[in-house]
Amino acid sequence: MTVLEALNAAMAHEMARDDRVVILGEDVGTAGGIFRVTQGLQQRFGPKRVIDTPLDEKGIAAHAVGMALYGLKPIAEIQFSGFIHDAFEQLMFGASKYRWATGGQYSVPMVVRAPSFGGIKGGFWHSQSPEAYYVHGGGMKIVAPSTPRDAYGLLLAAIRDPDPTLVLEPVPLYRALRDEVADDGTALPIGEACLVREGADVTVVTYGPLRHDVVAVADEMAAARGIEVEVIDLRSLMPFDVDGIVGSVRRTGRLVVVHEAPLSLGFGAELAATVQQVAFGYLHCPIERVAGHDLPYGFAGGDEYYRPNRARIGAAITRAVEFSF
């Protein structure tokens, strides 16, 4: 399956198993979504379970909150994560606060699917990495799968989770990868990273589509220079797998974080702060961060020079490995 097919299969599986699951969003019905992630689901489950909504992200998110309060398990599709800002209050004060602010009486078991990240010549509307806002808000889980298998397992986990979960889908990978995925309803645990590649010299932690660039750089560095890079795909950002990262850094003594979101207060800042707190004595060099810049994502040049590319990833790994006091 491709990532897109895996996401579709996960929703179909859960809709067949649990009649509380409904999908709502712009163009999700007849058209199957602008990317076709929900293709065929309205035909199979009917227009009461796969609902075309008005063009209104805050309305989609807010109605999904209400549906979840009343016991449904809505999956709200935001057409592009760049449009999610319209729903910000709904996710921040709606979805992610009911449980806490009612002393645990109400909960909002909804999923927000947001096609995210750059790499499709989309300019800043269609290339957003909004994770940091939602990590900061609290009360919401966040996952970012980057393989078909992870997409299937994490979307299933998100649908079954008792709390609101934001699924950042890797737009540039929707049809770019194929994987054997058993459509057997097995969910992946949220909060568990994946050790993608073992290596003794330096740890690179990443998530989203860049995972594949990081692995390619690691392979090149091993072949060309004998540098062994350990690659960890976080997969879950809230909560994140602190033990997996710290364990790796204690072995390698070096950490490079790679993500597309802007550098300042990006997820890498949190990882760097956490790792220096609990593994200070193990570090041989400053923690390197490769990130998007603190500026908008351009149409021309954004994919090449805003988004971390292989040259920048390789340079950061080299800085980490060659660092000396």
Question: For another protein, what does the binding mask look like between residues 9 and 28, x meaning CB under 8 A?
Answer: -------------x------
- Geometric angle at alpha carbon 228, from 321 and 196, rounded to 5°: 120
Residues numbered 121-150 forming contacts with another protein, rule: CB under 8 A = 138-139, 141
What is the CA 26 to chain-centroid distance, rounded?
A: 21
Judged by CB under 8 A, the residue of 3, 62, 155, 287 near another protein is 62
CB 279 within 8 A of CB 247: no
Shortest reach from residue 184's CB to another protein, in Å: 25
Shortest reach from residue 231's CB to another protein, in Å: 23
CB atoms near residue 273 (< 10 Å): 10
Shortest reach from residue 54's CB to another protein, in Å: 6
Give the distance between the most distant pair of CA atoms in the chain. Answer: 64
Please say which residue, 177 or 238, places its beta carbon nearer to another protein: 238
Please say which residue, 214 or 234, places its beta carbon nearer to another protein: 234
Shortest reach from residue 133's CB to another protein, in Å: 16
**If we measure between CA atoms, which residue out of 193, 142, 178, 182 comes closest to residue 163?**
142
Judged by CB under 8 A, the residue of 1, 154, 156, 238 near another protein is 238
User: Counting Cβ atoms within 10 Å, is residue 255 exposed (0-12), middle (13-18) or buried (19+)?
Assistant: buried
Interacting residues of 118 by C-beta distance below 8 A, sequence separation 6+: 127, 129, 172, 260, 292, 297, 302, 303, 306, 307
Look up residue 160 and give its amino acid: R
Question: For another protein, what does the binding mask look like between residues 66 and 95, x meaning CB under 8 A?
Answer: xxxxxxx-x--------------xx--xx-
**Interface contacts to another protein, rule CB under 8 A:** 22, 48-49, 51, 53-54, 56, 58-59, 62-72, 74, 89-90, 93-94, 97-107, 138-139, 141, 162-163, 191, 238-239, 242
